[in-house]
Chain A
């Protein structure tokens, strides 16, 4: 088993880390989405890392993409922007790449890779969170097109998106779900209020409402009735690649803690010399190394075309809970400075708290893992 990365992969990692460090750490742009930064990322080529060069992508492997996501999390403090990016790439762009027809790819992929169109994935409803299958949004087939009615909530990128992947019921009994590609410009699409939240401020969340939204039949993603399969597959990708930047973020926070512990003196000693501090840092390192190994294995499975449903749940559960723990420990190490906004540690914790909720809560992940074991 060769754990080495190729020369090209190392170069990509360094380039992306340097790009993120120099261009995506503007502290004045942490509170809201910034289109300039999005365009910069698109011009840099990060949006299409696994997309075929035919659609202006780089056509690299999923392992290279995992390293890329990790590097951007490592380099950039803008966790919200990273979250918006991973949503766009892995929940929408990747969906069209995997399940779209040639016409759909032609129509959407290039523009998405070039940063001209932003994507959002719409599944959650006010009464359908963990119980995703109890969604009520319904699309009926009339006059050679679908008519969608319903609403979605907590939609990441909702206010800035041009293209939505929407999962809706197309039959009640038996329950049948279908995925649709819906453009913002379609009749009946209403972008709702932005939802204020605890963290990830530069990624907008909002409600969506569909009132007799007409969808051409060409905009069915995959087959009619394959919505639940597409949803499960996309959630696997989400659990892997939306959490890859968190592995990088943990590394970034570890580096800050090490630097601080080597500079801060109390009782005449650097605080790194107190075991209470050094053990916390050691625990961070353990979390990071194990997360990395799981991430690379997941990416390898994807490159092999193998299923990674349970592995993704294990990874998501481990990374989300350890990321929060790393941020909490960082706050302890920084003390009052960690609690103060100026040092950014409290923002890291506020951003991290969401990850035990989105992509399926930690409780749901434990259910999935147990089902696999049992």
Chain B
């Protein structure tokens, strides 16, 4: 059975596209939701076990439970006070230590970036630490045959079908806030599921390489962009098209 590790980030809801009075403080990064859609689509055709791995605060636990309802097999939350303030350099180190801890994998997958940072560096830095290449711009995995992953990727204004040997590290492009619909069995499993929580004692990362200590970037100043007026347009496609037409032809 193919073993897939899906790295998922929980982002603060204020920067997420989907928020409202009932939104959790944290939500799944929309780039990672797209990745999960693709992995679940793959799971319907090829036997595989998908484990989602998140580095984040304990608050993310409840948000992660919903991933099980989408059809993911297992959820792991890596959390430790020493990880607070980790930049992409430190994050890629910590995730690498986790992978070293679990041993072998067939596919490690990432969403291309996170909407609260948009650097897109973690997948590539992680791959460097694994001494492997990271295949970026992945749209979908087409098939897995004879130890090779056949996938479709986009880059340099072209779409390619490429094959890459396993174990492989993939970064999916594309984002969505539409949640996958798992089966009712998955949903029932999610109700009672508790993510596996592990801390630094388990992965044994060097404290000097984690958190603020391990981060190469320092935030010197932060300024918020002034918020622009916006309107959410709800309704059917026809309603939205009519609204846009009125705006454009004013």
Q: Do A and B bind each other?
A: yes
- A259-B235, A263-B238 given as contacts; is B184 within 8 A of A12 (CB)? yes
Q: Is B236 an interface residue (CB 8 A)?
A: yes
B236 and A16 contact, CB distance less than 8 A: no
Assembly CA distance A48 to B55 (angstroms): 37
State which of A39-47, A169-177, A323-331 sits at the interface with chain B: A39-47
- Tally of B interface residues using CB under 8 Å: 14
Residues of B within 8 A of A44 (CB): 183-184
- A18-B181, A19-B181, A22-B181 given as contacts; is B187 within 8 A of A11 (CB)? yes
- A8-B191, A58-B188 given as contacts; is B181 within 8 A of A15 (CB)? yes
Q: Is A253 an interface residue (CB 8 A)?
A: no
A15 and B239 contact, CB distance less than 8 A: no
- A11-B191, A58-B188 given as contacts; is B183 within 8 A of A43 (CB)? yes
- A259-B235, A263-B238 given as contacts; is B187 within 8 A of A12 (CB)? yes
Residues of A within 8 A of B187 (CB): 11-12, 15
B184 and A15 contact, CB distance less than 8 A: yes
A16 and B184 contact, CB distance less than 8 A: yes
Residues of B within 8 A of A11 (CB): 69, 187, 191
Q: Is A49 an interface residue (CB 8 A)?
A: yes
**Which residue of chain A is the closest to B191 with respect to CB atoms?**
A8
Residues of A within 8 A of B242 (CB): 263
Task: Tell which of B184, B185, B188, B235 has the most Cβ of chain A within 10 Å.
Answer: B184
**Which residue of chain A is the closest to B186 with respect to CB atoms?**
A45
* B60-76 contacts to A (CB < 8 Å): 69
Residues of A within 8 A of B181 (CB): 15, 18-19, 22
Assembly CA distance A49 to B188 (angstroms): 11
Interface digits, A8-25 against B, CB 8 Å rule (1 contact, 0 not)?
A: 100110011011001000
A146 → B minimal CB distance (Å)? 37
Interface digits, B228-250 against A, CB 8 Å rule (1 contact, 0 not)?
A: 00000001101100100000000
Interface digits, A51-69 against B, CB 8 Å rule (1 contact, 0 not)?
A: 0000000101000000000
**Which residue of chain A is the closest to B187 with respect to CB atoms?**
A15
Q: Is B57 an interface residue (CB 8 A)?
A: no
Q: Is B182 an interface residue (CB 8 A)?
A: yes
Residues of A within 8 A of B239 (CB): 259, 262-263
Residues of B within 8 A of A18 (CB): 181
Assembly CA distance A19 to B236 (angstroms): 19
B182 and A15 contact, CB distance less than 8 A: yes
Assembly CA distance A18 to B239 (angstroms): 21
Assembly CA distance A115 to B69 (angstroms): 21
Assembly CA distance A134 to B236 (angstroms): 52
- A8-B191, A11-B69, A15-B69 given as contacts; is B184 within 8 A of A58 (CB)? yes
Chain B contacts to A: CB under 8 angstroms:
69, 181-185, 187-188, 191, 235-236, 238-239, 242
Q: List 16 A-B contacts (CB under 8 A).
A: A8-B191, A11-B69, A11-B187, A11-B191, A12-B187, A15-B69, A15-B181, A18-B181, A44-B183, A45-B185, A45-B188, A46-B184, A49-B184, A259-B236, A262-B239, A263-B238
List 4 A-B pairs, minimum CB-CB distance, nearest first. A45-B184, A45-B185, A18-B181, A45-B183
Chain A contacts to B: CB under 8 angstroms:
8, 11-12, 15-16, 18-19, 22, 43-46, 49, 58, 60, 259, 262-263
